[in-house]
């Protein structure tokens, strides 16, 4: 395996291993500075600032999950197709290798394009695989934006203002006004 492929695989593996640890450290640091972190509880503020609530963004999270899930379904069936069509061919182990490379997030399609055409003679294949990798990168970015979320001001409980209405009271020999007040 060429050195640049090993470097890409090592970088992806390091990201997959270190990302949960970095996320946990960030949450611990946030919890230490802001008190207990919670999804929907009010964050304490010492000054007269408006209290905020941390909320996820469901639309980018859903779109990113849908894109990435669709991509992985296509990758799984594509990898199975590579393996199934190469059994009678001369290089059965190459297909297993390409199927495994295809499952690498974001960089997998580019690694397979390099395996198929290492010198870049077929620009159409490279464009397809590069577009696929860009679509996966966009999906991962959308999911990250959705999971990170944002802080929104805490809305105070809506109070209905006290209302006072003047209601006319008319009887047979008397005309008057009455006051109707709700608190």
Domain membership flag for residue 170? no
Residues 6+ apart with CB under 8 A from 8: 107, 111
**How many domains would you assign to the chain?**
1
Domain membership flag for residue 169? no
Residue 144, domain extent: 3-28+51-156
Domain membership flag for residue 76? yes
| Residue pair 56/149 in contact by the 8 Å Cβ criterion | yes
Q: Would you list the DSSP string of 70-90?
A: HHHHHHHHHHHHHHHHTSSSS
Domain membership flag for residue 94? yes
Token digits of residue 158: 């809506």
H-helix or E-strand spanning residue 167:
strand 163-170
Domain membership flag for residue 34? no
Please list the residues that pair with 177 across neighbouring strands. Answer: 168
Domain membership flag for residue 81? yes
Give the Cα separation of 155 and 55 in Å (integer): 13
Domain membership flag for residue 175? no
Domain membership flag for residue 69? yes
pLDDT tens, per residue, the chain with 183 residues: 666 666 666 766 666 666 666 666 656 655 554 444 444 455 554 566 777 888 888 899 899 999 999 998 988 888 888 777 766 556 656 777 777 888 888 888 888 888 877 776 777 878 888 888 999 999 999 999 988 888 888 776 666 666 777 777 777 777 676 777 776
For 114-123, b/e burial (b = at least 16 CB within 10 A) is: beeeeeeeee
């Amino acid at each position: 395996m060429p050195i640049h492929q090993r470097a890409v695989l090592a970088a992806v593996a390091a990201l997959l291993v270190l990302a949960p640890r970095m996320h946990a450290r960030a949450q611990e640091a946030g919890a230490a500075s802001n008190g207990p972190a919670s999804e929907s509880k009010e964050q304490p503020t010492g000054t007269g600032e408006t209290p905020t609530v941390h909320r996820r963004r469901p639309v980018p999270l859903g779109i990113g999950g849908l894109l990435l899930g669709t991509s992985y379904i296509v990758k799984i069936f594509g990898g199975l197709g590579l393996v199934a069509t190469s059994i009678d061919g001369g290089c059965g182990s190459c297909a297993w290798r390409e199927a495994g490379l295809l499952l690498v997030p974001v960089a997998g399609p580019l690694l397979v394009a390099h395996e198929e055409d290492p010198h870049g003679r077929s620009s159409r294949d490279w464009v397809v695989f590069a577009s696929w990798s860009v679509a996966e990168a966009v999906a991962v970015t959308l999911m990250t934006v959705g999971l990170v979320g944002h802080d929104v001001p805490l809305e105070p409980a809506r109070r209905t203002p006290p209302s006072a209405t003047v209601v006319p009271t008319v009887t047979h020999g008397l005309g008057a006004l009455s006051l109707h007040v709700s608190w």
